[in-house]
Amino acid sequence: MTLAAMLSSAGRWERCGRRLKAIQSDFGFSIFHGTTFAALKGEFEGWSRQKCYDLLMAFGSLVANHVTECVTVSCEYEVYKKHFLDVRPAKMHQTSQYGICFLAMLDALSKVVAAQGPQHKLSVVIEDGHTNATDTRRLFDERKGRLEKAGVDFLRSHSLFTKKQCPLLMLADITSHGHALEQRAVRSGDAPNFAERNEREPRRGETGWTIYEVTPGYLAALIEEFNSGRVAVHQDYLRRKQAWLNAKQAVEG
């Protein structure tokens, strides 16, 4: 399972949207879907290799000029099953593999935005259509609630849109498509593993691309977070119950 996200400011997103419309018009397509593009089906049927390459370059230029950060998160099913599905507490929600990737993505984006200063807030737009996409609203609200209880006013809104409603979602699709090609190259031995590549911080004004993989440690942290929350809720209940008993005894006395 792989999810991709793009991060930018409201003003830059608006300019990016205008440029995206021009690319759609220049190349003669309405909606980009990585699977149909790779198979040269639908709107991409009959496209030459050069035209496909030119479209990818146009998307690349668009991202480089208007996006602050690209983030890709992947999760192997065996890791998800062994370290979350098989060991989660009975009362913990059976979050899907998609949902786990979303949480990791939200944490990654939050880290980037928070580093830019307390004045910045984060809103997310998720592509509607996937079976588990609607559950991201629950996960977003839970994370937002935890932050607010800790006195952190950071997360803003969660929205579900189709690519027709929000064409900028196509940028996340093209990023996911590019990551899938990279993964294929790694598996075939044509490219080094992501962990073996040289990393550096993006220069000022340069778009960063960060690749994350959900690890057993991250899944263990999610379970620990749930358990800690249950303990806190129980302790709060005991405090309120004791306060009620004390008040009742005072009245009776």
Query: What string of DSSP letters covers 38-62?
Result: HTT-GGGTT--HHHHHHHHHHHHHH
Share of the chain above pLDDT 70, in %: 85
Of 169, 167, 164, which Cα lies nearest the Cα of 125?
Answer: 169
- What are the tens digits of pLDDT across the range 61-105? 998 889 988 899 999 999 999 999 999 999 899 999 999 999 999
Q: What b-and-e string marks burial along 9-24, b requiring 16 or more CB atoms within 10 Å of the CB?
A: eeeebeebeeebeebe
Helix, strand, or coil here: 179?
helix
The pLDDT confidence band at residue 237, using thresholds 50, 70 and 90, is very low
> Taking all residues of the chain, what is their mean pLDDT, rounded to a whole number?
85
Question: What are the extents of the domains in the chain?
Answer: 2-252
Its pTM stands at: 0.81
Measured CA to CA, the distance from residue 233 to residue 149 in angstroms comes to 12
The sheet carrying 208-213 orders its strands as 2-7, 69-74, 208-213
Segments of the chain assigned E as strands: 2-7, 69-74, 122-127, 155-161, 208-213
Higher pLDDT, 23 or 227: 23
At 167 the pLDDT is 94
The pLDDT confidence band at residue 253, using thresholds 50, 70 and 90, is low
pLDDT at 233 over 70: no
Residue range 225-249: mean pLDDT, rounded: 58
- What are the tens digits of pLDDT across the range 121-162? 999 999 998 899 999 999 999 999 988 888 888 899 999 999
